[in-house]
Amino acid sequence: MKNSSFKIKEYRIQFIQELTPIYDAGEAESFFYLILQEKHQLKRIDLALHPDLVFSEAEIVVWDSILEQLKLEIPVQYLLGKTSFYGLDFEVNENVLIPRPETEELVEWILSNNLIIQKSNPETSGLKILDIGTGSGCIAISLAKNIPNAQVFAIDVSEKALATAKKNAEHNAVEVTFINQNILETEDLRQQFDIIVSNPPYVRNLEKEEIKKNVLDNEPHLALFVEDNDALIFYKKIAELARKNLSENGQLYFEINQYLGKETVDLLEKMNFKNIELRKDIYGNDRMISCHCKE
């Protein structure tokens, strides 16, 4: 792409063509419109209504740079420095995982369960919520934004991840108490919570071959992988803490490894949790679990 200027609609065609050896055409096109919106505040409809719009030479330099990085399979969200999650904008970088649609489903489940409770008993709006392994803060911040008067806390072992999460909380105008802590080395959370939620590392090393290159090469392995011989290490530890630190009939939610649904349910049953529910995600995979403490 050496031309000094391009009609945007013509650049779009070449952009997609250059990416289709790596991505399918639909995904390449979605990248184009994401970047167009972020860099120029233009949408698909704007291009349809104004087909003669052009990129300047300087703008083409920026686009060509992004294109070359996409060819290296660097996630477009990292290139733009942001993504959308549950209707909110989040900064993302190499220190945090890119939030997934499946995790939005987990947030929706928590909110729908507690909306019912709040309607029947408005006094429960002051819930205390803990998100373990918060990363970008997407779960904690989305819950804080949508549950009135909730006290939300979030733990992560990575100081760099917490720095990003703090920016995201400020940007989305919510109060979250962030704590730098290694949950595997924690014996007691020192306070009671009504809800504990976690999307901990759960991908086994044996499953690495299933992970796309753009994830494997760019997203933080600390937040992704566990050893094959101890795949439920975080679930066991968090469940132990939940037994000590959940309020009476408090709620525990997990995002899980799709291949370990039964094993995770068995673990929670052995630890005497009740009302254990395993749910599938939009793709039909076992993806999330909720349960309650024994009364």
**pLDDT tens digits, residue range 93-102?**
999 999 999 9
Of the pLDDT bands very low, low, confident and very high (cuts 50, 70, 90), residue 126 is confident
58 & 178 share domain:
no
Given a cut of 80, is residue 169 above it in pLDDT? yes
Residues in Cβ contact with 23 at an 8 Å cutoff, skipping those fewer than 6 apart: 31, 70
Is residue 86, in this structure, part of any structural domain at all?
A: no
Is residue 248, in this structure, part of any structural domain at all?
A: yes
Helix (H, G, I), strand (E, B) or coil at 288: strand
Domain with 274, as residue range(s), is 95-292
53 & 107 share domain:
no
Is residue 169, in this structure, part of any structural domain at all?
A: yes
207 & 62 share domain:
no
Given a cut of 80, is residue 3 above it in pLDDT? no
112 & 15 share domain:
no
pLDDT of residue 115: 74
Residue range 82-96: mean pLDDT, rounded: 96
127 & 23 share domain:
no
Is residue 226, in this structure, part of any structural domain at all?
A: yes
63 & 175 share domain:
no
Given a cut of 70, is residue 121 above it in pLDDT? no
45 & 110 share domain:
no
43 & 127 share domain:
no
Is residue 81, in this structure, part of any structural domain at all?
A: no
22 & 128 share domain:
no
CB 99 within 8 A of CB 83: yes
For β-strands 82-85 and 88-91, DSSP reports them as: antiparallel
40 & 128 share domain:
no
Output Rg (C-alpha) for the chain, integer angstroms.
21
Is residue 82, in this structure, part of any structural domain at all?
A: no
214 & 153 share domain:
yes
Which ranges of the chain would DSSP assign to H, the alpha helix? Answer: 8-19, 25-40, 44-49, 57-71, 76-80, 101-120, 138-146, 159-171, 213-216, 233-245, 261-270
Average pLDDT, the chain: 92
**CATH code, domain with 248:** 3.40.50.150
Is residue 219, in this structure, part of any structural domain at all?
A: yes
Is residue 114, in this structure, part of any structural domain at all?
A: yes
